[in-house]
Protein backbone atom coordinates (compact mmCIF):
# COMPACT_ATOMS: atom_id res chain seq x y z
CA UNK A 1 0.00 0.00 0.00
CA UNK A 2 3.02 2.29 -0.09
CA UNK A 3 3.02 5.42 -2.26
CA UNK A 4 -0.67 6.12 -1.55
CA UNK A 5 0.39 9.47 -0.18
CA UNK A 6 -0.40 12.02 1.11
CA UNK A 7 -2.85 10.32 3.49
CA UNK A 8 -5.88 11.86 5.23
CA UNK A 9 -3.76 12.60 8.31
CA UNK A 10 -0.18 13.03 7.04
CA UNK A 11 0.40 15.61 4.33
CA UNK A 12 3.75 14.25 3.13
CA UNK A 13 4.67 12.39 -0.01
CA UNK A 14 6.41 9.03 0.08
CA UNK A 15 10.13 9.66 0.52
CA UNK A 16 9.71 12.69 2.77
CA UNK A 17 9.51 10.49 5.87
CA UNK A 18 12.58 8.52 6.98
CA UNK A 19 12.55 4.76 7.50
CA UNK A 20 12.99 5.38 11.25
CA UNK A 21 10.60 7.66 13.14
CA UNK A 22 10.71 8.83 16.75
CA UNK A 23 7.25 9.84 17.95
CA UNK A 24 5.82 11.70 20.93
CA UNK A 25 2.25 12.36 21.97
CA UNK A 26 2.74 16.12 22.10
CA UNK A 27 3.58 17.62 18.68
CA UNK A 28 5.55 20.34 20.50
CA UNK A 29 7.80 17.59 21.88
CA UNK A 30 8.39 16.49 18.27
CA UNK A 31 9.28 20.11 17.42
CA UNK A 32 11.65 20.17 20.42
CA UNK A 33 13.40 17.03 19.14
CA UNK A 34 13.69 18.46 15.63
CA UNK A 35 15.25 21.67 16.95
CA UNK A 36 17.59 20.04 19.46
CA UNK A 37 18.61 16.73 17.89
CA UNK A 38 18.25 16.97 14.09
CA UNK A 39 20.50 18.70 11.59
CA UNK A 40 18.71 20.56 8.80
CA UNK A 41 15.19 19.52 9.83
CA UNK A 42 12.47 19.96 7.22
CA UNK A 43 8.83 19.97 8.24
CA UNK A 44 6.73 17.40 6.36
CA UNK A 45 3.44 17.62 8.23
CA UNK A 46 1.19 20.09 10.00
CA UNK A 47 -2.19 18.50 9.27
CA UNK A 48 -4.36 18.91 12.39
CA UNK A 49 -1.31 20.49 14.07
CA UNK A 50 0.44 17.10 14.26
CA UNK A 51 3.93 18.33 13.45
CA UNK A 52 6.44 16.11 11.68
CA UNK A 53 10.06 16.78 10.63
CA UNK A 54 12.81 14.91 8.81
CA UNK A 55 16.52 15.61 9.23
CA UNK A 56 19.79 13.93 10.12
CA UNK A 57 21.17 12.68 13.41
CA UNK A 58 24.88 11.86 13.32
CA UNK A 59 24.67 11.16 9.60
CA UNK A 60 21.52 9.05 9.79
CA UNK A 61 18.22 10.17 8.28
CA UNK A 62 15.55 10.32 10.99
CA UNK A 63 12.01 11.68 11.26
CA UNK A 64 10.22 12.91 14.36
CA UNK A 65 6.47 13.35 14.66
CA UNK A 66 3.63 13.75 17.13
CA UNK A 67 1.04 11.01 17.52
CA UNK A 68 -1.55 12.57 19.80
CA UNK A 69 -3.14 11.10 22.91
CA UNK A 70 -4.62 7.65 23.19
CA UNK A 71 -4.81 4.43 21.24
CA UNK A 72 -7.13 5.66 18.44
CA UNK A 73 -4.78 8.55 17.63
CA UNK A 74 -1.47 6.66 17.66
CA UNK A 75 -3.25 3.80 15.91
CA UNK A 76 -4.05 6.02 12.92
CA UNK A 77 -0.66 7.73 12.61
CA UNK A 78 1.49 4.64 13.02
CA UNK A 79 -0.71 2.59 10.68
CA UNK A 80 -0.22 5.19 7.96
CA UNK A 81 3.53 5.47 8.59
CA UNK A 82 4.06 1.70 8.50
CA UNK A 83 1.74 0.92 5.62
CA UNK A 84 1.78 3.99 3.36
CA UNK A 85 5.16 5.64 3.96
CA UNK A 86 7.38 2.56 4.19
CA UNK A 87 8.53 3.27 7.74
CA UNK A 88 10.38 0.29 9.23
CA UNK A 89 10.94 1.38 12.84
CA UNK A 90 8.92 3.57 15.21
CA UNK A 91 10.10 4.48 18.70
CA UNK A 92 7.65 6.26 20.97
CA UNK A 93 9.03 8.52 23.68
CA UNK A 94 6.47 9.66 26.19
CA UNK A 95 5.42 10.06 29.78
CA UNK A 96 4.00 7.45 32.12
CA UNK A 97 2.68 7.16 35.63
CA UNK A 98 4.59 4.76 37.86
CA UNK A 99 2.93 1.82 39.59
CA UNK A 100 6.21 0.64 41.13
CA UNK A 101 7.98 1.75 44.28
CA UNK A 102 11.23 0.99 42.43
CA UNK A 103 10.44 3.40 39.57
CA UNK A 104 10.49 7.10 40.35
CA UNK A 105 9.89 10.45 38.64
CA UNK A 106 12.52 11.14 35.98
CA UNK A 107 13.50 7.48 35.58
CA UNK A 108 12.84 5.46 32.43
CA UNK A 109 10.58 2.52 31.74
CA UNK A 110 11.22 0.39 28.64
CA UNK A 111 7.98 -1.31 27.64
CA UNK A 112 8.76 -4.95 27.01
CA UNK A 113 5.02 -5.62 26.81
CA UNK A 114 1.84 -3.59 26.88
CA UNK A 115 -1.25 -4.73 28.76
CA UNK A 116 -4.40 -2.85 27.81
CA UNK A 117 -8.06 -2.27 28.65
CA UNK A 118 -8.64 -1.25 25.02
CA UNK A 119 -10.66 -3.24 22.48
CA UNK A 120 -8.16 -2.41 19.71
CA UNK A 121 -7.15 -6.04 19.10
CA UNK A 122 -10.73 -7.09 18.32
CA UNK A 123 -10.27 -5.93 14.71
CA UNK A 124 -7.93 -8.87 14.06
CA UNK A 125 -10.62 -11.44 14.93
CA UNK A 126 -8.12 -13.61 16.78
CA UNK A 127 -9.23 -16.79 18.56
CA UNK A 128 -7.83 -15.53 21.87
CA UNK A 129 -5.97 -12.60 23.47
CA UNK A 130 -2.98 -11.05 21.68
CA UNK A 131 0.09 -10.09 23.75
CA UNK A 132 1.57 -6.83 22.36
CA UNK A 133 5.35 -6.77 22.80
CA UNK A 134 8.23 -4.54 21.77
CA UNK A 135 10.98 -5.57 19.40
CA UNK A 136 13.60 -7.58 21.31
CA UNK A 137 16.56 -6.19 19.35
CA UNK A 138 15.51 -2.63 20.20
CA UNK A 139 14.88 -3.54 23.85
CA UNK A 140 18.33 -5.11 24.18
CA UNK A 141 20.04 -2.12 22.54
CA UNK A 142 18.04 0.34 24.66
CA UNK A 143 19.13 -1.32 27.91
CA UNK A 144 22.76 -1.31 26.73
CA UNK A 145 22.51 2.41 25.97
CA UNK A 146 20.92 3.16 29.35
CA UNK A 147 23.69 1.23 31.09
CA UNK A 148 26.34 3.11 29.10
CA UNK A 149 24.78 6.51 29.89
CA UNK A 150 24.13 5.61 33.52
CA UNK A 151 20.37 6.18 33.28
CA UNK A 152 18.07 4.53 35.80
CA UNK A 153 15.45 2.34 34.12
CA UNK A 154 13.26 -0.73 34.44
CA UNK A 155 12.08 -3.13 31.74
CA UNK A 156 8.70 -4.84 31.88
CA UNK A 157 4.97 -4.53 31.32
CA UNK A 158 3.16 -1.22 31.06
CA UNK A 159 -0.57 -0.60 30.91
CA UNK A 160 -1.95 1.17 27.84
CA UNK A 161 -5.23 2.52 29.16
CA UNK A 162 -8.11 4.07 27.24
CA UNK A 163 -9.14 6.03 30.32
CA UNK A 164 -7.31 8.93 31.96
CA UNK A 165 -10.07 9.92 34.41
CA UNK A 166 -11.38 6.55 35.55
CA UNK A 167 -14.78 6.48 37.23
CA UNK A 168 -13.83 3.24 39.00
CA UNK A 169 -10.01 3.04 39.16
CA UNK A 170 -8.57 -0.47 39.21
CA UNK A 171 -4.87 0.32 39.44
CA UNK A 172 -4.42 -2.12 42.31
CA UNK A 173 -5.35 -5.04 40.05
CA UNK A 174 -2.62 -4.14 37.55
CA UNK A 175 -0.10 -3.46 40.31
CA UNK A 176 -0.54 -6.92 41.80
CA UNK A 177 0.32 -8.39 38.37
CA UNK A 178 3.65 -6.55 38.35
CA UNK A 179 2.74 -3.89 35.78
CA UNK A 180 5.31 -1.10 36.12
CA UNK A 181 3.55 1.97 34.79
CA UNK A 182 0.55 3.32 32.92
CA UNK A 183 0.46 5.24 29.63
CA UNK A 184 -2.05 5.35 26.76
CA UNK A 185 -0.48 4.24 23.47
CA UNK A 186 2.05 1.39 23.51
CA UNK A 187 -0.39 -1.47 22.88
CA UNK A 188 -1.69 -0.02 19.61
CA UNK A 189 1.81 0.77 18.36
CA UNK A 190 2.96 -2.78 19.12
CA UNK A 191 -0.09 -4.31 17.43
CA UNK A 192 0.30 -2.16 14.32
CA UNK A 193 3.99 -3.09 14.13
CA UNK A 194 3.22 -6.79 14.52
CA UNK A 195 0.54 -6.71 11.82
CA UNK A 196 2.81 -4.80 9.41
CA UNK A 197 5.90 -6.90 10.19
CA UNK A 198 7.80 -3.84 11.41
CA UNK A 199 9.77 -2.83 14.55
CA UNK A 200 8.57 -0.74 17.48
CA UNK A 201 9.60 0.23 20.98
CA UNK A 202 8.18 2.47 23.70
CA UNK A 203 10.47 4.30 26.12
CA UNK A 204 8.77 6.47 28.73
CA UNK A 205 9.92 8.87 31.40
CA UNK A 206 8.04 8.66 34.67
CA UNK A 207 6.18 11.96 34.98
CA UNK A 208 4.16 11.12 38.08
CA UNK A 209 3.81 8.37 40.65
CA UNK A 210 0.39 6.87 41.20
CA UNK A 211 1.25 5.65 44.71
CA UNK A 212 3.40 8.46 46.16
CA UNK A 213 1.88 11.50 44.43
CA UNK A 214 5.18 12.66 42.89
CA UNK A 215 4.50 14.88 39.84
CA UNK A 216 6.18 17.00 37.17
CA UNK A 217 4.86 20.07 35.36
CA UNK A 218 3.67 20.14 31.74
CA UNK A 219 6.65 22.38 30.87
CA UNK A 220 9.09 19.90 32.40
CA UNK A 221 7.49 17.06 30.45
CA UNK A 222 7.71 19.02 27.21
CA UNK A 223 11.24 20.38 27.52
CA UNK A 224 13.35 18.36 29.95
CA UNK A 225 12.58 14.69 29.31
CA UNK A 226 15.69 14.39 27.16
CA UNK A 227 17.17 11.15 28.50
CA UNK A 228 14.60 8.99 26.71
CA UNK A 229 15.15 11.05 23.56
CA UNK A 230 18.91 10.49 23.72
CA UNK A 231 18.32 6.75 24.05
CA UNK A 232 15.87 6.73 21.13
CA UNK A 233 18.15 8.69 18.79
CA UNK A 234 21.11 6.50 19.72
CA UNK A 235 18.99 3.44 18.87
CA UNK A 236 18.34 4.62 15.31
User: Is 208 an active-site residue?
Assistant: yes
Residues 6 or more apart whose CB falls under 8 angstroms from that of 62 comprise: 18, 20, 21, 22, 38, 54, 55, 56, 233, 236
Q: How far apart, in whole angstroms, are the C-alpha atoms of residue 50 and residue 26?
A: 8
CB atoms within 10 A of CB 84: 20
- B/e letters for 144-173, b = 16+ CB within 10 Å, e = fewer, are ebbeeeebebbbebbbbbeeeeeeeeebee
Query: Annotated catalytic residue: which of 162, 167, 172, 208?
Result: 208
Active site residues: 208
Amino acid sequence: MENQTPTPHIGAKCGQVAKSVIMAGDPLRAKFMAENFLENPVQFNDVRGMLGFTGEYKGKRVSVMGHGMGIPSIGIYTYELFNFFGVETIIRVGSAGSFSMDLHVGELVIAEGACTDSNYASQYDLPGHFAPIGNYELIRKATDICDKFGYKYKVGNVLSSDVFYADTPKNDKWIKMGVLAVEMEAAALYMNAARAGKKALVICTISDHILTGEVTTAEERQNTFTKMMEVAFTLI
